[in-house]
Structure 1
Amino acid sequence: MEGEGSMNDSKQLFYLKLAFLATEPPNCILSLAIEAGGGSITPQVQNFIVKECLGETMKETTANNRAYIRGILQKIISFVEASSVSVVDCLYEELAHYLTTGKEDLQGINHRICREISFLSSDLNGKDCSNSVNLVASLLCSSNMLEGDTGCSLWPSSLFLSEFILSYPEIFTNKSCFEVGSGVGLVGIALNHVGASKVTLTDGDLSSLENMKANLELNKLCLNVASDITCPSDQKVECRHLAWELATKAELKDQQPDIVLGADIIYNPECIPHLVRVFSNLLEEKSFGEVKKEAPVAYIATIIRNLDTFNYFLNVACESRLSVVDITSNTNVPNLLPYMCTYDRSSVHLLKVSVSE
C-alpha cells in the first residue's frame, strides 16, 4: 500500500508540472499543488515547482508566459503564507525574478502565450510517469479570445481529435491527410507524429495561418512551401490558405486526400453550404487509370453549441449525398490529458463523414 501511495504522489506531481507547462488557470495549478501535498502545499511541493516546473520554463519566454508565471507564484505564496506551512526561500526568489520581467510592451506574435501540451499514453498504471508522454506539442496561442482571436485559440474539439489520432494511429499512418480550418496546427502535429504520408493544413484566416506556421516551426516541422527546403520527408507539413467560399472545384479535387479532418468547424450557418461543398469535393472517390482508390473519409470533432445550426449542417450534407454518422459512443477515445482541468471532453462529438452509396 505504501508503494501505491508513493506512485500516486509521483503522478500528482507529474500532473502539476504538465498543467503548469500547459498554462492551465491559476486555480487549477493551486488545486493540483494542494492535492500533490496531501492537503497543503508542502515544502517538497514548493521545491518541486521551482526545480521541475520553472526549471522547464525558459527565462526568455514570451511576456505573457512570464506574467502567467508571476501570477501563479503570487497565488501559491499567498496560499502558503495563510497556512501553517513555511514558504521556501527559493519560491520568494523566483517571484522576485518574475516581478522584474515580463512587463515590456508586447508586439505582434508576442501577444501569444506559449502552451506546452503533453499527450500521455492511454495507460499510466504501473508505469514510470516520466516515460508516459506520447507527444509534446508547443503552441503559440491567443492570450485573449475576447479580442476575436479565435483561430489562434486552443479548442476542446482539436484536443479531442488529436487524442483520437494518437489513440488510433493505424487509421492515419501512411495516409494523405487534409485538415480544414486548422487553427493553431495541433491536429497536424499529431498526424505527423503517427506517420501520415502527407499532412496539409489549411485556414481561411491569414493571421491564424501565420501563427500556425510559427507553431510548426516551433515543433521542428518543416513547412513544405519551397523546393530548397531540406528536411526528412516525415517532418514536412504543407500549409495553405483556403477560404471555403472561394475554393474552386479543381483546386479541391487536385488534393486527393485519403482522410479529411476538421475540429470545431460547424458554427456559422452562413458558412455551412461552402463547408459542405469543400467536403463533397475532397471526399469524391478518385481513381488512377484502371485502379480505383479507396474512398476517402472525413473525421470531424465538434461541440454542438446550437442545435439548429448542427441540424442545418446535417440537412445540407444529406442534400449533397454526404453520410454523417456520430461515432462518439462506439469509439473509445482515452483521456490523454488528465491534468487539464479546462478541457471538457464530454461535450465533444466525433463524426465520420463519407459519400453516400
Structure 2
Amino acid sequence: MEINQLIRSYAAHSPPTIPHPTWLAQLNNQIILFDLLSQYSDHQAGRTWKLRFWKRIITVIEREFKRDPVLYQEEEIDERILNYYISLQHQQQPDKTIEEIELHIYYYGPINERDSWSKINLYENKASISQGTTGLRSWGASVCLSNYLILNQEDILRSTPDNQSQTTTIIELGSGTGLLGLLAYQLNPRNRVILSDFNQHVIDRLRSNLDLNFKEDERRNISVVNVDWNDHSKAGICHDEDWNGRTIVLGSDLVYDPDLVPGLVTTIKHTLKPQHCSSSGGGSQSFGLICGTVRAPETWDLFISTCGEQGLDVEYLDVQKSIEYGNPNSDGIIFPQSLDQSIDKLKLVKLSISD
C-alpha cells in the first residue's frame, strides 16, 4: 500500500515516494495523509527535513491544480498542512544542537499490516560527519545487515544452538547509532547483547538510544561498553567467567582506514574465541558478520587478507535479498539514503575461527 510506504519513509527521514498527484489533490486524501504523519511531527527534531517534505507535498498539489482546473475549483489544500508548514518555517530553535539531531523511526514487519509493525527509534545527527565521527547517523550497510538479521533470525539469533547451558552473546563493534545491536536485542532479548564503540560522543548517543527503545526493566541483558581496537590488552570485549557460549560479532562500515584494520581483525578474533575458552567451548560455534560499502577496494582487500593471516575463515554472503527487503514496498527496514550509486559496493562476509 502506497501510504504505508510513505509512513515508513517519513518516519525514517528516508527519500520518500510521493503519492500520485491526482490522489494528493483530493482534500479527503490530504486529511488522511496528515492524520497519519502528524504523529511524527510533535517534536522539533528534523525540522529541515520536514520542511522539504511538506514543501514538496504542497508543490505537487499546486501543480496538479494548475494542470486540472476542475480540481482547482472543487478541491483545496488542507489548512492543517499549510499551517504546519508555516509553523516549521517560523519555528525558533532554542539550541543549535537540536537542528543537528533528528529522531528516526525504523519500522519493519508486513508492509500491509501496519498494526503488526515493530520499530527501532534512533536519535541521529543530520550531518554525515559530526563531532569528529561518522557514528552519529545510520548508514546503508547497517540497514543491509539489519535486514539480513531479520530474514535469518531463526538461524542467527536462536538463544541456545546446541547446549542448553550455553548463552549466545551478540556483540556489535563500532555500533554508532546502535541500529544493529538494538535490533538484535529486540528480535531475541534472551540473548546477551553488547553495544560498543570508542568515541565518547557515540557512547553517549548509544546510551540515549538504548533508553529510547527499552525501559529499565527490559535492559537486563544489554549493555554499552567502550572498546579500543588498538588496545590489544583488552582485545576481546568480555573476559568474565560465564563467557562459555556462542558469540556473534556484528559490524557495519568498519573497514575504512587501513591503519585500523590490524586492530579490528585482532579484536574480532579474540572476541570470537576469548582466551579462557577451551577448544570445545563456544568458539567453534561463533562467527562474525561484517557488512560494508566498499568505497576503497584496497582497504577492503587488506581487511580480507588480514583476516586470513590471523586465522579467520572468510565467506562472502549474498546481500541481494537484504537490499530488496529494504525497499519502501517491502517488509524490512528502509534505507536512510538512496543507494542507487552504491548498491553494487555493499559486501557482507561471515568470519569464523579456522579449524
Interval of TM-score (by shorter of Structure 1 and Structure 2): 0.7 to 0.9
Query: How many residue pairs align between the two structures?
Result: 321
User: Mapping of 1:185-196 within 5 angstroms?
Assistant: 185-195=178-188, 196=190
Match among 219, 222, 231 for residue 246 of structure 1: 231
Give the structure 2 partner of residue 70 of structure 1.
51
Could you report, residue by residue, the CA deviation over 1:113-167 in whole angstroms, capped at 9, with x for unpaired residues? 111111234xx5xxx432452x211111111115454111111111111111111
CA distance in 2, matches of 1:146, 1:189: 22
Give the structure 2 partner of residue 183 of structure 1.
176
Match among 108, 121, 125 for residue 142 of structure 1: 125
User: Mapping of 1:99-118 within 5 angstroms?
Assistant: 99-101=89-91, 103-108=92-97, 111-118=100-107
- Residue pair 1:173, 1:194 contacting (<8 A) in 2 also: no
User: Does 198-207 or 294-303 show the bigger shift?
Assistant: 294-303
Pair 338,190 (structure 1): closer, same or farther in 2 beyond 3 Å: same
How much has 1:315 moved relative to structure 2? 1.4
How much has 1:290 moved relative to structure 2? 9.6
Pair 120,334 (structure 1): closer, same or farther in 2 beyond 3 Å: farther
Q: Secondary structure at the match of 1:270?
A: helix
Give the structure 2 partner of residue 151 of structure 1.
135
Q: Secondary structure at the match of 2:104?
A: strand
Give the structure 2 partner of residue 226 of structure 1.
none
User: Mapping of 1:183-332 within 5 angstroms?
Assistant: 183-195=176-188, 196-222=190-216, 231-232=217-218, 236-249=221-234, 252=237, 254=239, 256=243, 258-284=247-273, 292-293=281-282, 295=284, 296-328=286-318, 332=321
- Residue pair 2:173, 2:197 contacting (<8 A) in 1 also: yes
User: Mapping of 1:331-350 within 5 angstroms?
Assistant: 332-333=321-322, 335-339=324-328, 340=334, 342-344=337-339, 346-350=344-348
- Residue pair 2:142, 2:252 contacting (<8 A) in 1 also: yes
Identity %: 18
Could you report, residue by residue, the CA deviation over 1:301-320 in whole angstroms, capped at 9, with x for unpaired residues? 11111111111111111111
Q: Secondary structure at the match of 1:258?
A: strand
Could you report, residue by residue, the CA deviation over 1:82-113 in whole angstroms, capped at 9, with x for unpaired residues? 32243222222222333332x32434466311
Q: Secondary structure at the match of 1:338?
A: coil
Q: Secondary structure at the match of 2:202?
A: helix
State the TM-score, normalized to the length of structure 1. Answer: 0.81
Give the structure 1 partner of residue 164 of structure 2.
none
Q: Secondary structure at the match of 2:119?
A: strand
5+ unaligned residues in a row in structure 2: which ranges? Answer: 66-70, 160-167, 329-333
Could you report, residue by residue, the CA deviation over 1:270-300 in whole angstroms, capped at 9, with x for unpaired residues? 1001101111111227776796335211111
- Residue pair 2:236, 2:274 contacting (<8 A) in 1 also: no
State the TM-score, normalized to the length of structure 2. Answer: 0.81
- Residue pair 1:65, 1:113 contacting (<8 A) in 2 also: yes
Pair 346,116 (structure 1): closer, same or farther in 2 beyond 3 Å: farther
How much has 1:343 moved relative to structure 2? 4.6
CA distance in 2, matches of 1:112, 1:319: 41
How much has 1:355 moved relative to structure 2? 1.1
Aligned amino acid, residue 152 of structure 1: L
- Residue pair 2:295, 2:345 contacting (<8 A) in 1 also: no
- Residue pair 1:182, 1:203 contacting (<8 A) in 2 also: yes
5+ unaligned residues in a row in structure 1: which ranges? Answer: 1-10, 223-230
CA distance in 1, matches of 2:302, 2:279: 38
How much has 1:322 moved relative to structure 2? 0.9
Q: Secondary structure at the match of 2:40?
A: coil
Pair 353,73 (structure 1): closer, same or farther in 2 beyond 3 Å: same
> Aligned pair 1:57/2:28, yes or no?
no
CA distance in 2, matches of 1:168, 1:286: 29
Pair 98,248 (structure 1): closer, same or farther in 2 beyond 3 Å: same
How much has 1:16 moved relative to structure 2? 1.0
How much has 1:220 moved relative to structure 2? 2.0
CA distance in 2, matches of 1:66, 1:155: 20
CA distance in 2, matches of 1:118, 1:264: 22
Match among 3, 25, 29 for residue 45 of structure 1: 29
